[in-house]
C-alpha cells in the first residue's frame, strides 16, 4: 500500500533549517502501516532534505560548511544568465538532494536518538516549501 501526504514549510531564506520529523511521524501514524519506507521530498530546485541532530550549533556548522564549497557571494554563471543572486542555492541543493528515505518498523521511524528529518532552505529569500511524504509499506 502507498499513502501520501503533504505539508507546507515556511522558511526564512538561505541557511534556515526546519525540523519536519513530527509531520513525517504523523503521516506515518495516519497511514496505519507497520513496516516499509517513508520518502520525504521537498518540491523545488533550491532546497534539500537530510537527517541531522537538530540543534542550533549543528545548523550553524552546516551553513558554514555549505558556504565553504558554494559561497553565496561566489561567481556563478546562473547569475549572469538570469540576473538573480541564487546560484549558490542551486549548487547547494543539487549537492544535498531533494529527498530522503527512512525505513519504519512496527509503525515507528528507524531514526536514532538524536536524528531528526529536516528541510534545508538554500534559496536567498524566504520561501514556502511543499514537502511530500510518501509511505510505502504493509
- Which cell is 14 given? 538561505
Q: Where are the domains of the chain?
A: 2-137
First to last CA, the chain: 6
d(CA 38, CA 40) in angstroms, rounded, equals: 6
**Paired sense of beta strands 128-137 and 2-10, if any:** antiparallel
Q: Class for domain 2-137, per CATH?
A: mainly beta
Full-model pTM: 0.96
- Segment 103-131 mean pLDDT: 98
pLDDT tens by residue, 15-50: 999 999 999 999 999 999 999 999 999 999 999 999
pLDDT tens by residue, 67-94: 999 999 999 999 999 999 999 999 999 9
In 28-127, DSSP assigns E strands to 36-42, 47-52, 99-105, 108-109, 116-121
pLDDT tens by residue, 119-135: 999 999 999 999 999 99
Amino acid at each position: 500500500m502507498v499513502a501520501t501526504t503533504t505539508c507546507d514549510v515556511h522558511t526564512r531564506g538561505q541557511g534556515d533549517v526546519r525540523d519536519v520529523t513530527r509531520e513525517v511521524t504523523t503521516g506515518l501514524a495516519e497511514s496505519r502501516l507497520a513496516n516499509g519506507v517513508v520518502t520525504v521530498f521537498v518540491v523545488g530546485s533550491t532546497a534539500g532534505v537530510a537527517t541531522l541532530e537538530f540543534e542550533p550549533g549543528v545548523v550553524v556548522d552546516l551553513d558554514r560548511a555549505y558556504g565553504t564549497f558554494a559561497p553565496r557571494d561566489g561567481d556563478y554563471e546562473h547569475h549572469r544568465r538570469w540576473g538573480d543572486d541564487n546560484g549558490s542555492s542551486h549548487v547547494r541543493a543539487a549537492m544535498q538532494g531533494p529527498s530522503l528515505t527512512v525505513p519504519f518498523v512496527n509503525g515507528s521511524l528507524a531514526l536514532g536518538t538524536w536524528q531528526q528529518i529536516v528541510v534545508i532552505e538554500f534559496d536567498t529569500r524566504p520561501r514556502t516549501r511543499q514537502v511530500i511524504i510518501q509511505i510505502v509499506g504493509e
